[in-house]
Amino acid sequence: MDFAGAFTAANLKYMMQGLGVTLEIAIWSIALSFLFGTLIAILRYARIPVLSQVLMAFVEMIRNLPLLLIIFFTFFAIPEVMNLNLTPIQAAIAALSIFEAAMISEIVRAGLNSIPKGQVEAARSSGLGYVQTLRHIVLPQALRKMVPPLVSQFISLIKDTTLTTVIAIEELLRSAQIVYSQKQDYVFPMLILAALTFFVINYALSLVAGRLERRFQV
């Protein structure tokens, strides 16, 4: 194990670039999957005939497939049949967003369903429209309950960005791999550095989640 040899300025800079790619993919995917996940959950919650069932089938299918397969499929198969050209980064963000949106929609749906139906009825009978009821009564309460599971889902997402290595994206773990493929003595230092970087980001996120959870408790 050669820590001094592995952690040269050039290698560390290379790792920082990898971290940049990881964060780019993670932030885009978190934003998009949260948006689409919430949309899917609200559409399912509203019980719109046919659409709700189609969304349910979609969510169940995606949730039960390995993410690795979805990444592969999005990058290699979708462009082939749809005549689309995706860069690896776009494909990675698309795949992660689709997969995590399915997971997040279940979290949001559980949150929405945890609000007693009586409250919706009460709001509706006091003259609020359906959208107003969702906006002012159901969502604010549901969001509080959703914070802890949402944050753990985002942590999973950050970890899952490493899977994009299969479509040759130079994210953090792949950067580490490229460095340690030069010399066996670099394997452990680089793996430890990559692991610690993920740990610091994710652990910090989970601490923030814990604090938010306590603040939201009414």
Chain residues that interact with another protein, rule: CB under 8 A? 1, 60-61, 63-69, 72-73, 76-77, 80-81, 155, 159-163, 165-166, 173, 177, 180, 184-185, 187-188, 191, 194-195, 198-199, 202-203, 206
CB of 180 to another protein, least distance (A): 7
Nearer to another protein, 43 or 68 (CB): 68
CB within 8 Å of 145: residues ≥ 6 apart: 111, 114
Contact 96, 160 (CB under 8 A): yes
Nearer to another protein, 25 or 123 (CB): 25
Nearer to another protein, 67 or 146 (CB): 67
Cα separations in angstroms, 144 against 113, 115, 128, 156, 218: 13, 11, 22, 20, 10
Rounded Cα gap, residues 188 and 184, in angstroms: 8
* Residue 138: CB atoms within 10 Å: 22
CB of 203 to another protein, least distance (A): 5
CB of 44 to another protein, least distance (A): 16
Nearer to another protein, 9 or 168 (CB): 168
CB of 135 to another protein, least distance (A): 30
Nearer to another protein, 52 or 206 (CB): 206
Rounded Cα gap, residues 143 and 110, in angstroms: 10
Q: CA-based angle 213:100:71, to the nearest 5? A: 150
